[in-house]
Structures are given as structure tokens and as C-alpha cells.
Amino acid sequence: MNLVIFQHTPEETMGYFETICREWNVPFDYIRLFETNEVPNIKTSHVLILGGPMSVNDTRTYPYLADEKMWIRSFVKSGIPVLGICLGAQLIANAFSGKVSACEEEVGWREIRRIGTGIIMDVPSTFRAFQMHSETFDIPINGRILCEGQNVRNQAFDIGSATGLQFHFEITADLVQNWIRHLSLAKRDEISHDTDVFLANSHIWCRAIAERFFKKTGKNHR
């Protein structure tokens, strides 16, 4: 088993997911797309696609986004497990012709309702997760919605061997502080308080998702 991570910006790392990989001795390699600007030939058993400030529609500025979508389709065709977070989820949706468009901005800890199973089946029916996005995805044809939000409906889905999460279960206290540093003091204080309340459960559910993700195996490895 090994994990390849598509990383779009230095500020968005695996966070708590990396802690889990180190504890479980799962080998992993970051593909730092902000440095390489291209996706190399990949041989792996599992793929994690992280978030980023760009839009999946910005392929002229970031040509590697088109390459990622091609690779996502290839991974799913081969049955290789793929997990996308935030931008990663939008890339999975868009790879299968799901539209990605502007939505109400969600920043901070938001309530989400689980309505499906898959690798999120151990998560409670209602939970709080950290959000930071201003675009949303349509569920692609043959995709299955897994979670919905109060203001932005589509929050998680799966299609074949791929799962997309709009929210951040991998978040850590340090990542939160880094991501919200541009916000007003009042908003930073609100999110910091909520982080103290909700972060421990987020890590519990991150572990549950990671366990089911790594138990999935592909039909073959590319």
C-alpha cells in the first residue's frame, strides 16, 4: 500500500491525515503541483487530492488541473481508491462532467447531514465540519450524494472508487489559524472557539474515514 497526494498550495497539507499515515506506517508521497506544474507518471494504490485557492475551471492558469482530471478518470477506471477534499472533491465531480460554480461562501464550522454510506458510513447523521470554499459541485451522472448542507446542498459524494468531501476532516488547529489569518478579529475568535469545541470529533471521524479508505483496494495499480 502507498498513497500519492496531489497538493496545490503549500498552505494545504494532509494535516491530521498525515498523522494517521505515520501512525499506521502508510508510505506517502506529495506531488507538489505548485512546484512541478504537471502531474508525473503515477504508480500508487491510493490517491488523496487536497484543496487549494484556485477553481477547477482555471485550467488556462493552472494546466495541471486538466491533467488531474484525466488521472482521476484513469484511477476510477482502474478501481484505485481516490479521496478528494474541497478542491479535490470539485475536481472529481468535474472530471465526470459535474459542473463547478460559485456558491455562498462557507467559512468556519458548519452543520452537515450525512444521507449516504460509503467510506463516511461511520460518521454521525449530523455533524460539524470545517469549511472554506466559495464554489460548489453538481453531482455527476452515476454519482451518489453522501452529505448535504443547510445552505450549500452538495457536501460529499462518491462515484466508482472515488469519494469527494467538500469539508475538511483533515483540519488541525494550526491549519485553521493559518487559513483564517486574513479574517476579521471577531470572525477569527468565533472560529477559534468553535475549533476548540469541534476539532476532537473531526479527528475521530477523519480516522474512521481513513480506515475505510485504506481498506479499499483497486482492481489493479497504475
Contact present, 28 and 3 (Cβ < 8 Å): yes
pLDDT digits (tens, 9 = 90+) for 161-212: 999 999 999 999 999 999 999 999 999 999 999 999 999 999 999 999 999 9
Contact present, 91 and 119 (Cβ < 8 Å): no
* Residue 219, pLDDT above cutoff 60: no
| Distance between CA atoms of residues 100 and 82, nearest Å | 19
Domain 3-215 = CATH 3.60.20.10 = no
In the structure grid, which three cell numbers stand for residue 125, read together?
Answer: 447523521
